[in-house]
Homo-oligomer: A and B are copies of this chain.
Amino acid sequence: MKRINRSAKIRNFHQAKWDEPIIFELSKKGERGILVPQAEESIVKAVGDGISNIPNQMRRKESPNLPEISQARVLRHYMRLSQETLGADVNIEIGQGTCTVKYSPKVNEMLARLPEMTELHPLQDEGTVQGILEIMYQTDRFMCEISGMNRFSFQSGGGSQAVMTMASIVRAYHDEREEAQQRDEVITTIYSHPSDAAAPAVMGYKIIYIHPDENGFPDFEAFKAAVSKRTAAFIVANPEDTGVYNPRVKEFTDLVHSVGGLCGYDQANANGLFGVTRAKEAGFDMCFFNLHKSFSTPHGCGGPAVGAVGVVTELEKYLPGPLVDYDNEKYFMNYENSNTPYNIGKVRIFNGVAPVVLKAYAWIMSMGAEGLYEVAKIAVLNNNYLFKKLMEIECIDAPYIRGKQRIEQARYTLEKLTEDTGITSGDVQRRMMDFGMHYWTSHHPYYIPEPMTLEPTETPSKEDLDEYVAAIKQIVKEAYESPEIIKTAPHRSVCHKLDETSLDEPSEWAISWRSYLKKTDPID
């Protein structure tokens, strides 16, 4: 036998493609997926059918038109859909910039799925939930050490809600000072996450954008011009998704403080900075961490998650409560700040997503201070190695400062590729799927033309990075030699190029199966 030649750099990939019907199409009248407990005969004897006494107008007349499917078929359907989903467990996660998709250790997941976690009611007596309270308390302590803040709340169910929570605190703070009317502006930057603008806007703030200077730093002159007595807060990521760290950040926060505004730090993607620098030293009054990003808890297709919001002592009383405290004997729910007059109230029901906090706790405990620092180092190493390799490809560029390292991610531009070949970043995105890879353009609007935003984190190995680069190289080559294959991509995915015309057309869009059936004519 000859040795099998495995020198190809590009993976010969095809995604699982099951061609599954929509779940309603699997329905067969009479089939059941599960049997439900019935009331015992003695109960029936005592209370009857239980439903006759429902007021007539409130008694459902026709059963909901749910599908009727046997259990094995339901399972098969969703198992197949899961195979058709490129989760981080099966994928080299580099191509979802500003998402910090890292390895979520299975041991943490298993811990979070123990009944001692899943079978807790949020209103249980404190004495019965000492375990989870301890974990929340300790994780609060850890977060404080990592950020320099003084107190954390785990109520926000994600980073965007964390921004909203920060914006609420800003409002409450100025309310208390009776400056809420006057201070109606929140300043952010164009490369900060859209939620840094959108969430404060919900809270009634006007958004002022600072654009970058030629180095990619938020333009300090423009910033100076923007800051005023109308400034309620400055909310910003640093680095933004360009990966460029603003070294003058302290001047920014100082300036805001000088006019009476607050500073909120978007640290969703903090893993490039663990143990290196902190929100406190940079002068922020608040920050948040995405536990589902930097702290490795899985994204779950987009939540459940936690945006842990930390504040300096002065702002603690605005944090949504209760907070977990410890009286040297037992952990307890502290409602103190919930009762302060300007407290923001609640942002999420009960105590946030405790299993996510648990997973983050376990992850931190498996890292320690040294491990977190190593995470930061390697996340940055990986990013800059990737950056170097990609920048060697002629038609790829990344605007802004050279020489200094980017932190944990970078936004590139394929403008030259598009000019040369007509292949857009969106085309490349689809083609990357043929090699089993995620690829992200950027948030909108595309300030950088034909953007590509990548964030490797500390999870991939050098080989993984090399494989990613090889795939990009292959596509670039194709773009110049056989662009059609890219334009018609993907070819090895579950589906081919989407016909998007209906999605923005009210008479055509179909957001549910029943709507689709109503809006399309049966085929005969």
State whether the Cβ of A225 lies closer than 8 Å to any Cβ in chain B.
no
Q: Mark A1-29, 1 if CB is under 8 A from B, else 0.
A: 11111110001111111110100011010
CA of A520 to CA of B5 in the docked complex: distance in angstroms? 11
Given the complex, which residues of B lie within 8 Å of A100, measured CB to CB?
A: none
Chain A stretch 458-503: residues in CB contact (< 8 A) with chain B: 459, 461-464, 492, 501-502
Once the chains bind, are B71 and A510 in contact (CB under 8 Å)?
Answer: no
CA of A80 to CA of B90 in the docked complex: distance in angstroms? 6
Beyond A71-B103, A103-B71, whether A6 also contacts B25 by CB under 8 A is: yes
Once the chains bind, are A71 and B105 in contact (CB under 8 Å)?
Answer: yes
State whether the Cβ of A79 lies closer than 8 Å to any Cβ in chain B.
yes
Contact of A76 among B19, B28, B89 (CB under 8 A): B89
CA of A180 to CA of B92 in the docked complex: distance in angstroms? 64
State whether the Cβ of A106 lies closer than 8 Å to any Cβ in chain B.
yes
Once the chains bind, are B436 and A18 in contact (CB under 8 Å)?
Answer: yes
Given the complex, which residues of B lie within 8 Å of A106, measured CB to CB?
A: 75
Contact of A1 among B16, B436, B459, B519 (CB under 8 A): B519
Q: Mark A303-316, 1 if CB is under 8 A from B, else 0.
A: 00000000000000
Q: Which residue of B lies closest to A84 (CB)?
A: B16
CA of A31 to CA of B21 in the docked complex: distance in angstroms? 43
Once the chains bind, are B83 and A89 in contact (CB under 8 Å)?
Answer: no
Once the chains bind, are B28 and A463 in contact (CB under 8 Å)?
Answer: yes
Once the chains bind, are A70 and B461 in contact (CB under 8 Å)?
Answer: yes
State whether the Cβ of A73 lies closer than 8 Å to any Cβ in chain B.
yes
Given the complex, which residues of B lie within 8 Å of A403, measured CB to CB?
A: none
Given the complex, which residues of B lie within 8 Å of A11, measured CB to CB?
A: 18-19
Copies in the complex: 2
Beyond A28-B463, A31-B461, A89-B75, whether A13 also contacts B18 by CB under 8 A is: yes
Task: Tell me, rounded to whole Å, the shortest Cβ–Cβ distance linking A110 to chain B.
Answer: 10
State whether the Cβ of A522 lies closer than 8 Å to any Cβ in chain B.
yes
State whether the Cβ of A521 lies closer than 8 Å to any Cβ in chain B.
yes
Q: Which residue of B lies closest to A494 (CB)?
A: B14
Task: Tell me, rounded to whole Å, the shortest Cβ–Cβ distance linking A335 to chain B.
Answer: 36
Contact of A19 among B12, B521, B522 (CB under 8 A): B12
Once the chains bind, are B6 and A17 in contact (CB under 8 Å)?
Answer: no
Task: Tell me, rounded to whole Å, the shortest Cβ–Cβ distance linking A362 to chain B.
Answer: 14
Once the chains bind, are A19 and B28 in contact (CB under 8 Å)?
Answer: no
CA of A522 to CA of B6 in the docked complex: distance in angstroms? 11
CA of A201 to CA of B2 in the docked complex: distance in angstroms? 39
State whether the Cβ of A72 lies closer than 8 Å to any Cβ in chain B.
yes
CA of A28 to CA of B465 in the docked complex: distance in angstroms? 14
Interface residues of A (CB under 8 A from B): 1-7, 11-19, 21, 25-26, 28, 31, 70-73, 75-76, 79-80, 83, 89-92, 103, 105-106, 436, 459, 461-464, 492, 501-502, 508, 510, 516, 519-523
